[in-house]
Structure 1
Amino acid sequence: MTQPRRPLTDAERIDWLRLIRTENVGPITFHRLLEQYGSAKRALDVLPDLARRGGRAKPLKIPAKTEAERELAANAKLGAKLLCSCEPDYPEPLAAIDDAPPVVSVRGHVHLLKRRAVALVGARNASLNGKKFAETIARQLGEAGLLVVSGLARGIDTAAHKGSLGSGTIAVMAGGVDVVYPEENQGLYRDIVAQGAVVAESSIGTQPQARHFPRRNRIISGCSLGVLVVEAAMKSGSLITARMALEQGREVFAVPGSPADPRCQGTNNLLRQGAALVETVDDVLRVFQHLKAPPLRERQGDLFAPSAPPIPDDADVDRARGIVIENLSPSPVAIDELVRGCQLSAPVVLTVVLELELAGRVQRLPGNQIALI
């Protein structure tokens, strides 16, 4: 049973920020450390030893307390709030996903994050009709009481934000919460800060790079109970968002389009695969009547437990390390399959994997898979 969510103290928030900004610590690794050691403070204490045992020669780069304090101050100066995934204001649907960002910056109206949300995404080079449809249905979704989430990109994203600006919209950024991309959406960004909210996982000042956009997309779908795609080519970021929505157990909607238009091939293929067809706002609202927020994961309870769960014995982990490494390769393998293949207890295998991650010897991949680097 999960524990009640509560705001962190200033000291806890600094520990969370230091831990997620540590080299080789991603969201899944962060949550695993929290589960195993009970608090971010204790996890920070054991990180160097874990990385060394995983085979790392150089010291792990762990931000100093002063660095975390500077980031907190930069957010405060911008008027942004740092939310941690265990706190009441953090979106519950997002907190439920495996790789929920432990810390996000929010600029604007934080209370909007508690509303039921639908993501609306699509082509950057959208047609005039596509943008008009997106703006209209976004406005109608907002009028029906839903929060509209998108990524502030050109085309469909921009239309979605414009249509829902008056009722509430969330823009999820690929870089820092203060870095507007594309530059042409500066005015829209200011309007969203004034009337909606802007969310970012990266620290303030981070310039968006190609690798940031898939991570951004998982937050767009994670904040929402369903994702509506309006115009998308067969290889597009919007289809990545739709795939992530399916992996997160969310509903996927798609607007049909002309088979002669490459921008509609992706959405038509989503329909072929079973996405809900959308021609009017009622097609979305009918499904949303039955959608509920996914349950929060058990991991959230560990943060406030009086003591951390039992940690595997060092001798057991030492004996298991060679077996785990032998069973790994550059080809991805699911964690569950690795546990079965090694014929070891899950806590022991997960501890070895944690050491290897911190040492930079393995990488996490979608679908709870890992691979040797």
Structure 2
Amino acid sequence: MRAGTAGLRLSDAQRLAWLRLIRSERVGPTTFRELLNHYGTAAAALEALPDLSRRGGGVRGIKIASRPEAERELDALTRLGGRLVALGEPDYPAHLRHVDAPPPLLSMLGEEAIARRPAVAIVGARNASLAGRKIARSIAAGLGEHGLVVVSGLARGIDAAAHEATVDTGTIAVLAGGLDQIYPPENEPLLRSLVLAGGAAVTEMPLGWSARARDFPRRNRLISGLGLAVVVVEAAKRSGSLHTARFASEQGRDVLAVPGSPLDPRAEGCNHLIREGATLVTSAADVIEAISALIDDRPAEPPRHLEESEAERSAPMGEPDDAVRSRILEALGPTPTAIDEIIRECALDAGVVQLVLLELELAGRLERHGGGTVSLI
């Protein structure tokens, strides 16, 4: 069944294979999608990984998540009260599935239906002022009363204030680590209360994963992708909140910001966003007015080229020869290059180019960047 088909539910065996594939070495969301598109099922892609890595010039074997490892993660997630939601399933967040390279699997704890409601993200400074936390609570509460879910990152300061104000109306906490590795630890009671009240916690990271600095940008990308818009309340000039705003712009989301005193460094980021074109807001009414046309705009079905079927498929593409690989390697370099440009300049079938790029990536020789660009490592 196609992953874009309404009502898709993976079987237990398919879910286990999806989990093994995304937990395998060098397989990220984009690579996962390309593998599934090419091989049809996660099980078939898992079998192909060693050969792909070898063909790409890998000097050592690729680490593939084992079946027992995946089973242990699923069992532990079930004991925690959570579940894995796959891209294309009804409980997968509706707007997140339309971002560039959405996570194929999300670990979710809490109410499933909340992911289908329209949402707005609120982010801001961890060292927020009293005034900043107050306005964050006010905006969040007003959005909740209007029926909107509030999304944030469970961090200290603005994030926590936004969650606290919407425990009773619905809020989603996006984590940078596993569902059992809450950061900061003092917000664990807040997470428990919002989940018990009908909210949810989501992450793309496995159980037991402690968040590292490089995991927070991945989390911020999910925060912006889950909602219709991002509201920034207090943010320094260089902060994770501005990264979230940048992700929002790249994802086609509205960016809104609360202005602040030019004397407060925590307002510098918000004031900069407004100068760059973000919508100035000071209340929930301002936010609702800015996104009113989007609230009832139901997202379309996800792209229907992601496959997960045991049905008979056409014969797989043959292995590209060395001349083709050399031509593609010559087109690559340390500077990120658009895949479409490689296809055009090499005058090769898109499927052939994507297959060679998969080989190189699984061999540890290729890095993917935003906007469909790649570079040699």
Q: TM-score range by the shorter chain?
A: over 0.9
Q: Contact 1:217–1:241 (CA<8 Å) still a contact in 2?
A: yes
Q: Deviations over 1:7-42 (max 9, x none)?
A: 111000000000000100001100111111111111
CA distance in 2 between partners of 1:48 and 1:343 (Å): 28
Q: Contact 1:252–1:275 (CA<8 Å) still a contact in 2?
A: yes
Q: Is residue 2:185 matched to residue 1:180? A: no
CA distance in 2 between partners of 1:338 and 1:241 (Å): 30
Q: Which runs of 5+ in 1 are unaligned?
A: none
Q: Is residue 2:301 matched to residue 1:303? A: no
Q: Contact 1:3–1:301 (CA<8 Å) still a contact in 2?
A: no
Q: Is residue 2:286 matched to residue 1:283? A: yes
Q: Is residue 2:235 matched to residue 1:235? A: no
Q: How far off its partner does 1:73 sit?
A: 0.1
CA distance in 2 between partners of 1:356 and 1:324 (Å): 10
Which amino acid in the other structure matches residue 25 of structure 1? Answer: V
Which amino acid in the other structure matches residue 156 of structure 1? Answer: I
Q: Deviations over 1:174-217 (max 9, x none)?
A: 00011111122122122122121111111111101011100111
Matched residues, percent identical? 52
Q: Is residue 2:44 matched to residue 1:42? A: yes
Q: How far off its partner does 1:287 sit?
A: 2.7
Q: Is residue 2:146 matched to residue 1:144? A: yes
Alignment of 1:1-373 (within 5 A): 2-195=4-197, 196-291=199-294, 292-299=297-304, 301-304=306-309, 306-308=311-313, 311-315=316-320, 318-373=322-377
Q: How far off its partner does 1:345 sit?
A: 2.1
Q: Deviations over 1:91-119 (max 9, x none)?
A: 12111112211111111112211111100
Q: How far off its partner does 1:308 sit?
A: 4.4
Q: How far off its partner does 1:341 sit?
A: 2.6
Which amino acid in the other structure matches residue 264 of structure 1? Answer: A
Q: How far off its partner does 1:294 sit?
A: 4.2
Which amino acid in the other structure matches residue 222 of structure 1? Answer: G
The structure-2 alpha-carbon separation of the partners of 1:308 and 1:131, relative to structure 1 and needing over 3 Å to count, comes to farther
CA distance in 1 between partners of 2:288 and 2:159 (Å): 20
CA distance in 1 between partners of 2:75 and 2:127 (Å): 38
Q: Contact 1:148–1:168 (CA<8 Å) still a contact in 2?
A: yes
Which amino acid in the other structure matches residue 121 of structure 1? Answer: V
Say which SS state the counterpart of residue 95 (structure 2) adopts.
helix
CA distance in 1 between partners of 2:368 and 2:261 (Å): 38
Q: How far off its partner does 1:348 sit?
A: 1.2
The structure-2 alpha-carbon separation of the partners of 1:275 and 1:101, relative to structure 1 and needing over 3 Å to count, comes to same
Q: TM-score, normalised by structure 1?
A: 0.96
Which amino acid in the other structure matches residue 342 of structure 1? Answer: C
Q: Deviations over 1:62-90 (max 9, x none)?
A: 11111111110000110111111121111
Q: Contact 1:36–1:309 (CA<8 Å) still a contact in 2?
A: no
The structure-2 alpha-carbon separation of the partners of 1:293 and 1:341, relative to structure 1 and needing over 3 Å to count, comes to farther
Say which SS state the counterpart of residue 252 (structure 1) adopts.
strand
Say which SS state the counterpart of residue 75 (structure 1) adopts.
helix
Q: Contact 1:51–1:355 (CA<8 Å) still a contact in 2?
A: yes
Aligned residues: 372
CA distance in 1 between partners of 2:31 and 2:315 (Å): 18
Say which SS state the counterpart of residue 35 (structure 1) adopts.
helix
Q: How far off its partner does 1:309 sit?
A: 6.4
Q: Contact 1:174–1:208 (CA<8 Å) still a contact in 2?
A: yes
CA distance in 2 between partners of 1:281 and 1:68 (Å): 43
CA distance in 2 between partners of 1:154 and 1:99 (Å): 28
Q: Contact 1:35–1:308 (CA<8 Å) still a contact in 2?
A: no
CA distance in 2 between partners of 1:248 and 1:32 (Å): 20
**CA RMSD, aligned part only?**
1.7
Q: Contact 1:226–1:253 (CA<8 Å) still a contact in 2?
A: yes
CA distance in 1 between partners of 2:336 and 2:298 (Å): 30
